[in-house]
Structure 1
Amino acid sequence: MSDSGAGVERISVAPDGTQGDGDSVGATITTDGRRIAFSSWAKNLTDGYPMTYEKVFVRDQRTSQTMRMSTSAPPIQRPVISGDGQYIAHWGLIQRDTKTFLSQVKSEGTIGIYCPGLSCSQPSLSADARYIAQVATSNRPPSRQRIEVRDWRANTTETIAEYEHTASARPSISGDGRFVAYQDGQAEDIFVWDRTDGTSSGPIEGPSKAATLVQFSEDGSKVVYLSGSDTYVHDEAAGTDQLVPNVRGVAIDPTGRYLLYAPHDTSGPSLTLRDLETGTDEIVSNQPASAGTDAVSAGGRDVVFHSTADDMVPGDTNGKSDVFVRRFY
């Protein structure tokens, strides 16, 4: 992890520090903040490779090196990096189906493509990437989908839930791979599955309101979800919810203490980090910016995001979306 102190740093840069010559988006960060994964159209981030489509990259903050991951299909959405920084997952299009790709950092090729005959999407990784929670969907009648956990080392698949619909559904797995928070998009409910005893609890938001899953904290203590115009942080042990009103929760740090959110009021900051214990806020970006799950390192030290703003760092003249990290200490 870089020790350059607090501030904003551009991550999507060439080996000599030159700004990227294409759009870079969708950053995720490891638990310790050392490695950052993102996707990009830029051709100059690594040496000697002609870009024919969007690729996945991993930036090592300790060595200041950027690695192009060898992936078999362009990412459809942002990649996910495991908490230990050893693996990345993304989903891409193969003919008319989407598939999940898992790749080891500093290694060539993919480890596996899962759910044959179905479309796989929305991968979520345990801290060591042994367990991959994902959605498997049939694009052919009858419409159906299931939420599953794949143990790629043991070559086993566990079905968590099955639905006779294809409304939005996605999982988020705890760091140890034991618990899976998942969303039934049709019922607008969120549940938590315990893989040890095979039981499900929920809906965690209660019976009277609709909910959308954001993220399960890596330590398995908190589930962030949206309901109406508000964000809630559900404490798994206590069974209680902490309300953060009139904001859209984006991510939570691995310890469950720091919430990254986007205020609905667009006249102020676009991204803010809240300490849920003290109720204090830190501004991540005053300029328009976007982030997703797994965007905060442990203890709220680092937040990754992307933005087209040209004044995040000096000398930003490429007119592209760049990936940045905000370091708080």
Structure 2
Amino acid sequence: MNTFKVSVQETSNNAIVKFEVNQFITKHQSFEFSNVDEAKPSPLAQQLFYLPFVKKVYISGNFVAVERYDIVQWADVQDEVAQQIEAYLNGGGTVIIEAEAPKKIPVTVYAEATPNPSVMKFVANKKIVTALFEFTSIDEAKLSPLATELFHFPFVKSVFIEENYVSITKYDISEWQDITIELREFIKQFIESGKDVVLPEASQKQQNTSTQKNTHFEALDDTSKEIVNILEEYVKPAVASDGGNIQFLSYDETTKNVSVLLQGACSGCPSSTFTLKNGIENMLKQMLPGKVEMVEAING
């Protein structure tokens, strides 16, 4: 059984707090309830309305957002609410009664070209995973029903899934103009069906990996930590918009060489070397003078 973990996230509205869950709790649907009667389709929301300060409950994807009345401050009660939601989920409590939930989920998916001519990015209007995943074969894709089905298309070489998009790398046997519409419709219908994009245990496994990464980060030398922070702040958002990801692998203090792993659209991209040499490498040299000489890119 996969354990639910709930974390408290502040929002721009100080009356509303998001309680983020490490797994999806609805099938890509969103719900809003203003009172206990409205909340009949959601036993979880009904339970929250028994708290006298709860004004509204929103449930969507992997979070529960609660709006409070002014009789309390969130700082005084948010941890208690998080614990209550976590205990409810781990006790097997029902979030939404499926029979009373909407049968059709409005989903849009559009295709977006990337700098890598072998990769197309399919962007959904909904959050579909809580972490990033990359699969380079059908064997690797066992934790992702969506990726597994995509590998049944003979032209699919690898699948990269992040928050609200799927990046697909194709073999050269097909042209995007011949397969894009088919893939877009397939992904759209898959999400609309409410099936798991990745299995719950995949999120748990990813969380364990993240914990390991955090432990690994703390063990790094100071220069490596600076490199990781620069990549996270300045490089990752840019490559993510192109359907890819970059991960720090190592730093050699003697040679001053940095190794990074390319994933998704960045992996095997003809422009990757150019981007790294003229972008990332120069950035690291400027921001860490005398500490970096070269960046080596390894395709995932």
User: TM range, normalised to the smaller chain?
Assistant: under 0.3
TM (normalized to structure 2)? Answer: 0.24
Give 1 or 2: higher strand fraction: 1
TM (normalized to structure 1)? Answer: 0.23
